[in-house]
Amino acid sequence: MSGPGVRLHIQDHHVVMDNGIVQVTLSNPGGIVTGIRYNGVDNLLEVLNKESNRGYWDLVWSAPGTKGIFDVIQGTCFKVIVQNEEQVELSFTRMWDPSLEGKFVPLNIDKRFIMLRGSSGFYSYGIYEHLNGWPDFDLSETRITFKLRKDKFQYMAMADNRRRILPYPEDRLPGRCQTLGYAEAVLLTNPKDPQLQGEVDDKYQYSCANMDNRVHGWISFNPPVGFWQITPSDEFRSGGPLKQNLTSHVGPTTLAMFLSSHYAGQDLVPKIRGGESWKKVFGPVYIYLNSAAVSDDPLWLWEDAKIQMMNEVQSWPYYFPASEDFLKSDQRGNISGRLLVLDKYICTDLISANGAYVGLAPPGDAGSWQRECKDYQFWTRADENGFFTIRNVRPGDYNLFAWVPGFVGDYKFVDFMKITPGSYTELGELVYEPPRDGPTLWEIGIPDRSAAEFYAPDPNPQYMNRLFINHPDRFRQYGLWDRYTELYPATDLVYTVGVNDYRKDWFYAQAPRKKEDNTLQGTTWQIKFELSGVVRGSTYKLRVAIASATLAELQVRVNDPNAGRPLFTSGLIGRDNSIARLGIHGIYWLYNVSIPGSLLIDGTNTIYFTQPRCTSPFQGIMYDYIRLEGPPCEGI
C-alpha cells in the first residue's frame, strides 16, 4: 500500500494511530475507540456520548444459573506489538485472577487494533482465554459496538434491498413513539423527520444470516462519508452459515457480532464447565471508511463498500496480525470433494448436490453444527455438480457436515477429518442418502430450512415499515402473527392437498389465536388428502421439517382430532423467538412420524397439527417442509 507511513502518538490517557488517511484515538489503557477522524470530520463517533460509549468491545456473561452481566471490556494494560512504517498493532489486555471472581468474566482478554499504511480504515480482533481450573461461566454475547454521530449518519445499508433512512435515536423516546409488543419495536408517532411518521422501527428487521452478513454500515450525506463494518470470514462466528445476527440499527449503531443467542436461544450460549481450558480468536474485522465528491451520488459509497468487502474476503486469512493465535494461510489445511445425493424414489442415479452447504465443525452428531458455539467452523457452497473446496481450515479434528437444499435431513461423513498445517485432503465422491421410506404421496413447502415460501400476509396498515412493501422479505413486517386471527377468526387453517397452494394458503407461522377477550388459545391445523388402496398392515411415514420453534409443541393426530393421546408429540421445543424477531428460520428440527396404515382410510383423510402452547403471542412453529410417504415399494 502507498501513502505516508503509519504514525503512533502515545499520550497519558490516549493512543493515536494515524496513517494520513484516517486517525484513530483509543483510550489508554482501556482500548476504547474514542475518536475516528476522517475526510475533514474531527470525529465520526458520537461526540455527545461519554468516551467510554463510542467504540468498544463488550460481552454478556454469567456464572452458571445466574443472571447475565453486561460488561464493556476496559483494558488494564497497553502494549505496542508492532510499530513500523507499514503497520501499527496495539494490544489492550485485561487479565483475570481469582481475586476478581464474581466481578469479571474469568477470561484473559486481549483486544488488538491494527492500522496499515495506505488503508482507509483499521482492523480489530480479540483473543479470549479461559485457563484450566478457572471458574465455570456462560458467555451469551460478545461483539464490537460503534455508535456514530447522529447529526451525520442517517442512511443505513446492510443489503441491496435493505437500506434506507432510519429514525433519529430521539424518535424512539416517549413523546415521539409508541412502544409495541416488545421494547425493540416502536411506532413512530412524532419523528423529527416527518416522512417517517406512522412507520415501525425495529432493529430485528435488519438481522442477517451469517453467510450474508459481510458488510453493513452508514452513509453521511454531508459530507459524503461511509462507515462500514466488514467481516471477511464466518470461521469465528457460532452456529454455522444460517445463524442470524444483528447488523446496524437506530443509534446510529453498527455491530460486529461474534456470539449471540438470537434466533437460537441457550443452545448458542457457550458454557465453559469443569474448569476446562478454552481459547478463541474473534476477528479480525475491518472498519472501512470511504468518501465521495460532493457532486457524486453518496449512495455510491455502498457500492464501493461491497467491492472493498470482496477484497477483504479474498485476502482472508490476513497475513499481518501479529498474534501467533491467529493462524496464517500456510498454517492451515484444505479439503475438497464431491457430494452426491441418492434418493431412489426420485431417481435411481446419483444426483449432484447442487448448492449444498458443506462444512467442517467440531465433532458431533449429524446437524450438531447448528448448536455448536465454542470453536471454529468452516463452510462453503458446493457448485451445481456438487464439487466443493473448503480452504484455510485451522488444524484440528472435525466432522464434515452438509445439508442439501431440496432434501430433508443432515449429512455427516463417517470418518473424523484431521486437518494439519499445509495439508490438502481430497475426499472424492461422498453420497448422502436423505431420510426416505417410500414414494411421495404429497408434500407442502420446499425443504430449504426456511418458511419464506409460505404465506406472509400484508401487515396491518398501522404497523408498516415501507421498506418491506412488495419486498421478498415480506415476513419482516411487524405484527404479522396477529393477522392469523383476522384471517381465521373462528376456525383454524385447513389445507387440502391438490386444491390449496402453500404459497397462498399455508400461513407462515402456527402461532396462537387471540380471542375476543384478548386471551390466547392454541391452534389445530388440518391437512386433508385423498388416498386409495390403503395398505392397512403397512407403515406410512410423515416427515415434518421445522424451520423454527419458540416454546412450542407439535402434536400430530390422524383422522381423530379428539384422540386423548396424540400419535406423536415433539414435547416442548425451541427458544428461537423468530416470530417476534421477524426472522423466518432458526434452529432446524426434523421429525419422522410413523403412521400405521390401520389409521388411514380409502377416501378423505385428515392429519391434525396441534400447537397447544399459548402463554405468549410469539410462541409457535414455522414449518420448513412436510411430506407424506407411502409404504416402501418392492425392489427400491
349 with 420, same domain: the answer is: yes
On whether the CB atoms of residues 599 and 628 are closer than 8 A, the answer is no
pLDDT tier at 558 (50, 70, 90 boundaries)? very high
Residues 294 and 195 in one domain: yes
Is 323 a member of any domain? no
Distance CA 281, CA 224 (A): 34
Instruction: Provide the sign of the torsion angle of the four alpha carbons 577, 434, 366, 384, taken in this order.
Output: negative
CATH number where 134 lies? 2.70.98.10
Residue 2: the pLDDT is: 67
Q: How many CA atoms lie within 13 A of 382 on its CB side?
A: 26
Which pLDDT value is given to residue 1? 57
Residue 636 has a pLDDT of 81
Share of the chain above pLDDT 90, in %: 98
pLDDT tens, position by position, 455-482: 999 999 999 999 999 999 999 999 999 9
Give per-residue pLDDT as tens, 299-357.
999 999 999 999 999 999 999 999 999 999 999 999 999 999 999 999 999 999 999 99
Calculate the average pLDDT of the chain. 97
- What is the tens place of the pLDDT at every residue in 177-221? 999 999 999 999 999 999 999 999 999 999 999 999 999 999 999
Q: Is residue 103 pLDDT above 70, yes or no?
A: yes
Q: 75 pLDDT exceeds 80?
A: yes
Same domain membership, residue 338 and residue 307:
no
Given 387, 412, 432, which residue is the final one in a domain? 432
H or E stretch including 302?
A: helix 300-314
Residues 482 and 341 grouped into a single domain: no
Is residue 589 one of the residues assigned to a domain? Answer: yes
Peptide bond into 252 cis (omega under 30): yes
Residue 542 is part of which domain span? 440-629
Q: Are 547 and 624 in contact, with CB atoms under 8 Å apart?
A: yes
Q: What is the pLDDT of residue 16?
A: 98
User: What is residue 507's predicted lDDT score, i.e. its pLDDT?
Assistant: 98
Same domain, 37 and 121: yes
419 and 457 in a single domain? The answer is no
108 and 187 both lie in a single domain: yes
Q: Is residue 590 part of a domain?
A: yes
What amino acid is encoded at 534 in this protein? V
Which of 287, 315, 343 represents a domain boundary (last residue)?
Answer: 315
- AA letter at 55: G
- Pair (68, 212) in one structural domain: yes
Verify that 292 and 397 share a domain, yes or no: no
Q: Which residue has 424518535 as its cell numbers? A: 171
Per-residue pLDDT of 145-184, as tens digits, reads 999 999 999 999 999 999 999 999 999 999 999 999 999 9
Cell numbers linked to 182: 416488545
Residue 634 within any structural domain of the chain? no
DSSP track, 314-373 = HTPSPS----TTS--GGGSEEEEEEEEE--TTT-SS-EE-TT-EEEEESS-STTGGGG--
Mention every residue, 6+ apart, whose C-beta is less than 8 A from residue 248: 156, 158, 206, 216, 217, 218, 229, 254, 255
Strand partners, 19: none
Structurally, how many domains does the chain consist of?
3
Q: Tell me whether residue 613 is in a domain.
A: yes
Q: How confident is the model at residue 595 (pLDDT cuts 50, 70, 90)?
A: very high
Burial of 301 (0-12, 13-18, 19+ CB in 10 A): buried
Residues 445-463, mean pLDDT to the nearest whole number = 97
Q: Would you say 341 and 350 are in contact if contact means Cβ atoms under 8 Å apart? A: yes
Are both 154 and 294 inside the same structural domain?
yes
Residue 634 is predicted with a pLDDT of 83
- Of 288, 315, 342, which one is at a domain's C-terminal end? 315
Query: Is residue 534, in this structure, part of any structural domain at all?
Result: yes
Q: What CATH number did the domain enclosing 623 receive?
A: 2.60.120.260
Phi, psi dihedrals of residue 317, rounded to the nearest 5°: -80, 140
Name, in order, each residue with C-beta under 8 angstroms of 485's C-beta and a sequence gap of 6 or more: 513, 514
Shared domain for 36 and 92, answered yes or no, is yes
> Does residue 266 sit in the same domain as residue 349?
no
> Has residue 596 been placed in a domain?
yes
Number of neighbours of residue 266 by Cβ within 10 angstroms: 11
Instruction: Look at residue 289 and tell me if it is in a domain.
Output: yes
Question: How confident is residue 33, by pLDDT bands cut at 50, 70 and 90?
Answer: very high
pLDDT band at 532 (very low <50, low <70, confident <90, very high): very high
Region 614-624: mean pLDDT is 97
Indicate which CATH number applies to the domain containing 426: 2.60.40.1120
Residue type, 592: N
Q: Is the pLDDT of residue 635 over 90?
A: no
Helix (H) or strand (E) holding 275: none
Q: In whole angstroms, how far apart are CA 289 and each of 19, 46, 123?
A: 13, 16, 12
- φ, ψ at 431 (rounded to 5°): -120, 125
> What is the distance in angstroms between the CA of the first residue and the CA of the last residue of the chain?
62
pLDDT for 515? 92
- The DSSP call for residue 547 is E
What is the spatial distance between Cα 323 and Cα 317, in angstroms, rounded to a whole number?
13
Q: Which residues contact 25 (CB under 8 A, 6 or more apart)?
A: 14, 15, 16, 33, 34, 35, 36, 37
